[in-house]
Structure 1
C-alpha cells in the first residue's frame, strides 16, 4: 500500500512538472539559458518638430520614411493632422508633406499608394504626387487605428474603440472580425496569419486568415501597439505605447528590450528597416522619432 502511495505522489509531481513546461508562452526569455539575448542601442533622434507622431513606415522603393502626426486629439475631426517625410538618418525632409486629415495613425504601403487610418476613414495617398487620391469611409467605425496590407492588396484595419477588424478588398469594406477582440490595435500580415497586439486583452496573438481562429502567442504586453519583424528570423518586436519594447521569441517567450515609462517617452507604432538593422520608434508626446540598432548582447 505504501509503495502505491509513493508511486502516486511521483506520478503527480511528474504531471505538475510537465504542465508547467507547457505554460512557457509569455514568460521572460531570460529564464532560458540557451536563448540569445539582445539589446537596443540608440542610433539617432530627430528634432522635436513632429506633433504627436503615432506611426512610421519605411518606403523601400523611395528610401524614405513616412510619419503620421495625429496632433494631440486621437478621436476628434479637427483637420490638423498630417504626414511627414523623413530620411533614414533622421532628417525631416518635409514636415507637412500631406495635410487635410484629422488624426492619422496606422500606415500601409501598396502599389505606390500610402494608406492612412484616420478615425473613421482610410485615406489613400498617391506617393509620387504627394496628394490624397481617395477617402474610404469605414461605416460604423469609432477609432480605426492600425493598417496592414497583404501581397494581394487586401487592407486590414483595426478599430480599437469598437472591437473590430475591417477588411478593404476590391474597393469593398467589410467587418472582417469582431468576436474575441478587446481593443485591437497593432496589425501585421505574416504569411497566412494576421498578427495582432491588443490594448484591452494586453496580449500578442495570431489570427488565422482562413479560419479567423485567434491564438495567443504572448501575454502581459499591456497597451499593445506596434508590431515589426526583427532582423532575426521568426522574432518580432512589439510595443506597449506607454514606453516598452518587447522581443517576442519563436516559442512565445519574451523579454523587455526598452522601457522608457519613467521618462514618459512613448513607443507607438514602430517599423524595422531590415536592410539597415534599424528600429524606428515614434514617441508620441516627446514629438520625436528615435532609431535604435538591434544588437546581440556580449557575454
Structure 2
C-alpha cells in the first residue's frame, strides 16, 4: 500500500513541480503568479514572482530553471545566480514542459493542439505534433516516442514515425503532470478523477497509485518517489510506499 504525506500547503493552484541538484523543490504557483522554493523541512520562500500564470517547470543539470507562462505565452529561464530571461516567445497557452532525450525543451501549446520542441542553444522551434486536443502535459520515452496528456480525455502516444496510439480509455481527464518512469511505464495525473495513475504502454494496463486528490494537477518523480500538487486544497503531497 501507498500513503500520502503532506509536505507543504498554502499554494495558489500548484501546477508544476521540479527539483534541483540539491533536492530543493520548486513549485509553480499558477494563481499566485510566482515560483515557490520548498526545502526538505517544508519551509517556503518565493523564488520568483511576476510571471503570469506559471505552469510547467523543469530544471537542467546546471540548475537553470525553465518555466512556461501560460497567460503571456513565453518561456522564462532563471539561472542559479538569479538572472532571468525570456528565452522564447510566441507560444499559445504553453502549459506542461519537459526535456526531450536530446536536451531540447518540449512545450505543450494547449490552445493550438501542438507539441513544440525548443532548441535551447539556437532558440529554434520545431513543431513535433499537431492536431491534438487541449494538450497540457508531455513526456518522452527511451525510444523517442512522445506521450501527451490532454484535458479532452485523451492520452496519446506519438511514435517517431508519426504513428499514433490512443491510451486514454480508462482516464477521465489527464492533466499537466506526466512523467516517464521506465521504458514502458508512464505516470499521469488523472485530473478529472482526482488520481495518480500508471500505465504500461505495451500492455495498456492502468494502475491507480493514489486517489481522492481533488484537483490534482502537478506531478514529479524524484528519487523513486512521486510528488503531487493539488489545486483543491493548495497542497503538495509525497507518495510513500510502505
TM-score by length of 1: 0.61
1:29 aligned partner: none
Q: What's 2:237 paired with? A: none
Q: Give the Å deviation of 1:131.
A: 2.7
Which one is further off, 117-126 or 286-295?
A: 286-295
| 1:271 maps to 2:179 | yes
SS of the residue 1:188 aligns to = strand
Q: Name the residue aligned to 2:117.
A: 206
The alignment covers a number of residue pairs equal to 198
Q: Which has the larger radius of gyration?
A: 1
Gaps of 5+ in 2: 205-242
Task: Give the counterpart of 1:165 among 55, 75, 99.
Answer: 75
Cα distance in 1 for partners of 2:133, 2:48 equals 30
For the aligned residues, what is the CA RMSD?
2.0
SS of residue matched to 2:9 = strand
Q: 1:285, CA displacement in angstroms?
A: 3.6
Name whichever structure is richer in helix by fraction.
Answer: 1
User: Counterpart in 1 of 2:56?
Assistant: 146
1:223 aligns with 2:134: yes
- Where do 1:13-28 residues align within 5 Å? none
Match of 2:43? 131
Give the TM-score of the pair, scaled to structure 2.
0.75
CA contact (8 A) 1:217 1:252 kept: no
Which of these residues, 121, 124, 140, is aligned with residue 34 of structure 2? Answer: 121
Q: How do residues 1-299 of structure 1 correspond to structure 2 at under 5 angstroms? A: 91-94=2-5, 96-111=6-21, 112-119=23-30, 120-126=33-39, 128-132=40-44, 134-139=45-50, 141-170=51-80, 171-178=82-89, 180-190=90-100, 191-230=102-141, 232-259=142-169, 265-268=172-175, 269-274=177-182, 277-295=184-202
Unaligned runs of 5+ in 1: 1-88
Residues 1:252 and 1:150: Cα distance change in structure 2 (over 3 Å): farther
Q: Secondary structure at the match of 1:101?
A: coil
